[in-house]
Amino acid sequence: MTTTQAAPSTDALQFPAGFLWGSATASYQIEGAVTEGGRTPSIWDTFSHTPGRVERGETGDVADDHYHRFREDVAIMARLGLTTYRFSVSWPRITPQVTADDLGPVNPEGIGFYSDLVDELLAAGISPSITLYHWDLPQALEDAGGWTSRRTAERFGEYAEVVAAALGDRVPLFITLNEPWCSAYLGYASGVHAPGRTDDAAALTAVHHLNLAHGLAAASIRRAAPTSRVALTLNLAWVRPQTDSPEDAEAARRVDGLQNRVFLDPVLKGAYPADVQADTAAVTDWSFVQPGDLDVIAAPIDVLGVNYYSPTHVRHWTRERPKEHADGHGEGKASPWIACDDVEFPFQHGRKTDMGWSIDPRGMTELLLRVAREAPGCEIMVTENGAAFPDVIDANGRVIDTDRIDYLRGHLAAVHEAIEAGAPVTGYYLWSLLDNFEWAWGYGKRFGIVHVDYNTQVRTPKDSALFYADVIRRNALTR
Ligand code: FCB
């Protein structure tokens, strides 16, 4: 709407000049049009169409119909005053005939869709940030092994080069991967995400091939779009041991290794953590790491994207009591936590979102400060943060989502605190612009600051959207 910012007020938490205010989405969660524009199936099409995988059997076939309504959606972003927008490119729209051995031809309609979106954003004064992979792997690649195959990483590097060459003149930031933790462990160990496999060795193989894919894509972006910046987005955990006991500290070490260090260390230090390799030695010998891979993975990045929603509480588990798992992946189900049989995720009292995730903004500050310490010189952006609540449209057509506003207030204050303490955080992307297809939860969980009526596709900005627009206009959080 406007790029002029209101005068600073003294009782407000003022953000640095030029701070980027955005919102984030992902292709499969909003686009719909899954058979249009030459697109071929991704693993999420297959998964969501498999009975029992997604709540109520819902799929992303239509989602928010953003593929057809992107101009309306950009107009909403402009009215809110967003200065940047993070979206993902659906790989099967770009190279629909990809196989494990060959990227196949580039689909002009696929490139065209994202090119039009980029132009629409730029015309509205909104800076586009592209995520190259937000989980919708072409099904043909999964059929040939998916992320357990090195060839998937190689094809990803080539696909990244295609997108960077086509859009790099207009896109200042490319994010290679979104949350490889989810792709590897939820996709291949617990099986709650596509492709739904439950094989610990496959999941650790996927971890490495995702890291390699990031490195190959980073190099592609440098070649094809030399003026664009390169980022990687991780869902890092703020791991809290339940007590000061050495057993709980050990539980925290294991979870920290699998969630944080197995992704951070290869990129920042060019090595896998020795303790994680030792912990998982019975599962795999890590021979999938080939000479030279770590050099590729460790190439410098410009921005580290951090997604934060909730803290991770851990406790040592003994067989004397049933195992708890605060986010629902408890005993009896396959676990994403490999070699963590003696770790549990104890139930936490206190405020929760509709996902059952504990609300704890302190974790955001602590996590950003840790990343700042461990990645000196690397700019940080919060590439996702937000909350699901059971919103309702009231009789006046309004969504009064006070819970979400409180969540955002707390977390924006936490980001501000981290900046004050020295963390080089330059932007914040709220998850999410629109209510959308929340993966295995389907449409039941609403994360948007804009309500979507899935019958009519009518968009209604919630009160949180107006709150966020005010923060953006002031470049500050008023108390
Ligand atoms: C993150 C995902 C995003 C969305 C939010 C709620 O893990 O990156 O697509 O599902 O969680």
First and final C-alpha spacing in the chain:
24
Cis peptide before 195 (omega within 30 of 0): yes
Which residues does residue 88 pair with via DSSP β-bridges, in sequence order? 131
Q: Please tell me if the CB atom of residue 136 comes closer than 6 angstroms to any atom of ligand 1.
A: no
Of 31, 161, 179, 366, the active-site residue reads: 179
SS3 474: helix
User: Helices in 385-462 by DSSP H: which ranges?
Assistant: 402-420
Q: What is the pLDDT of residue 11?
A: 80
pLDDT in tens, 94-150: 999 999 999 999 999 999 999 999 999 999 999 999 999 999 999 999 999 999 999
179 is an active site residue: yes
How many angstroms is it from 354 CA to the middle of ligand 1? 14
- Per the structure, the count of domains in the chain is 1
Cis peptide before 9 (omega within 30 of 0): no
Q: Please tell me if the CB atom of residue 179 comes closer than 6 angstroms to any atom of ligand 1.
A: yes
Closest of 77, 48, 78 to residue 62, by C-alpha: 48
Mutate to test the pocket of ligand 1, among 44, 48, 438, 449 (most ligand atoms within 8 A of CB): 438
SS3 201: helix
Is residue 151 assigned to a domain? Answer: yes
Strands (E), 321-424: 343-344, 379-384
Q: Which domain holds residue 220?
A: 12-478
Which atom from ligand 1 is nearest to the alpha carbon of 233?
8
At residue 371, what are phi and psi to the nearest 5 degrees? -60, -40
d(CA 280, CA 290): 18
Closest of 339, 317, 190, 346 to residue 273, by C-alpha: 339
Q: Please tell me if the CB atom of residue 185 comes closer than 6 angstroms to any atom of ligand 1.
A: no
Q: What is the pLDDT of residue 331?
A: 52
Q: Please tell me if the CB atom of residue 26 comes closer than 6 angstroms to any atom of ligand 1.
A: yes
Is residue 116 assigned to a domain? Answer: yes
How many angstroms is it from 18 CA to the middle of ligand 1? 26
Is residue 109 assigned to a domain? Answer: yes
Phi-psi label, residue 37: left if phi above 0, alpha if psi -120 to 50, beta otherwise: left
Is residue 48 assigned to a domain? Answer: yes
Low-confidence residues in the chain, pLDDT < 50: 1-3, 329-330
Residue 108: in which H helix or E strand, if any? helix 108-123
Let me know: does 86 contact 23? Beta carbons within 8 Å.
yes
d(CA 399, CA 103): 45
Closest of 9, 257, 7, 233 to residue 133, by C-alpha: 233
Is residue 2 assigned to a domain? Answer: no
Q: What is the pLDDT of residue 372?
A: 98
Is residue 250 assigned to a domain? Answer: yes
Is residue 5 assigned to a domain? Answer: no
Residue 69 half-sphere exposure toward CB, CA atoms < 13 A: 18
Q: What CATH number is given to the structural domain containing 118? A: 3.20.20.80
Is residue 85 assigned to a domain? Answer: yes
d(CA 110, CA 90): 8
